[in-house]
Amino acid sequence: MEFRYLGNSGLKVSEIIYGNWLTHASQVKDDQAIKTVHAALDAGITTYDTADAYANQAAEVVLGDALKGQRREGIEIFTKVYWPVAEKGPNDVGLSRKHIFEALHGSLRRLQTDYVELYQAHRFDYETPLEETMQAFADLVHQGKVMYIGVSEWNADQIREGHKLASDLGIRLISNQPQYSMLWRVIEKKVVPTSEKLGLGQIVWSPMAQGVLSGKYLPGQPAPADSRAANEEVGQFIQKFMTDEILTKVQKLAPLAKEVGLDMAQFAIAWVLQNPNVSAAIVGASKPEQIASNVAAAGVEIPKEIMKKVDEILGDSIVTDPERTLSPETRPA
């Protein structure tokens, strides 16, 4: 495993981060989830990302159980706040001071820890003054319950404003967690340059475009019965990539992956790590052997000519519009 600094902070994270968005307490039984986390630990992954909204708080419970007994100083735990949770009442959502405080204390109980290394605003909250949100984060940092602050899917203007308020309050806003892959590059034009200037690093999710870049989905053929695309509950996130045109182009990436000694999934992860503003890539897994395979992407340098060929193959299927970085205009119910 290789390690990188998270933004311009002194915190190092594993290049591959284990995330439990669509797996723990939903797709994978708890005993299997715990085995997969232990496989991640064995593979050298020290950083673990979750959120209170994942499986409506249950994913944090599974991760807490899986990490129980580990040397706390040897791992980094990240979680998030924003989406509706628990009974989904009027204050069980958003980035108000009330919800942030209650959400963090709930996360700490479920994760069985006294603090988290990174607490992230899961989206931007248009209904709460940003000053209130950042003051709440600052108070938690000063209490020692949170070490650093991050955001997820904030646009460049929101990051800039949040960073200024955080600096004024004496805390560090060090990261953004956006979707990023060979096919989805909406952060490159505005978010990345802003983050580089301000000292934020990207913790990217869906580096394999929900599994499309693994090459397992073939044009003109139905999705495998046990795949994410065939799952009605979570398949909505992958549908934008499931066209015959995109799937045909993805198959043409296989020789490039082979040329650098990787399979297609590893190649997709290694590709996002070529961006110098990316601190780490989040991967999920339902089986221990998937983790063992994913970590092979760490530390790989892809030649510039191969990177150029990726662009030529995918062409106009690449999404680059920075306006696609969005948060709900009203809090979701």
Catalytic residue positions, numbered = 54
CA atoms within 13 A on the CB side of 259: 14
Distance CA 187, CA 272 (A): 12
Name which of 2, 12, 14, 5 is nearest 48 in CA terms. Answer: 14
Tokens standing for residue 227:
């795949």
Distance CA 279, CA 281 (A): 7
The secondary structure of 55-110 as a DSSP string is: TTTHHHHHHHHHHTTS-GGG-EEEEEE-S--TT--TTSSSS-HHHHHHHHHHHHHH
Name which of 114, 288, 128, 273 is nearest 208 in CA terms. Answer: 273
Tell me which residue has tokens 């060090």. 174
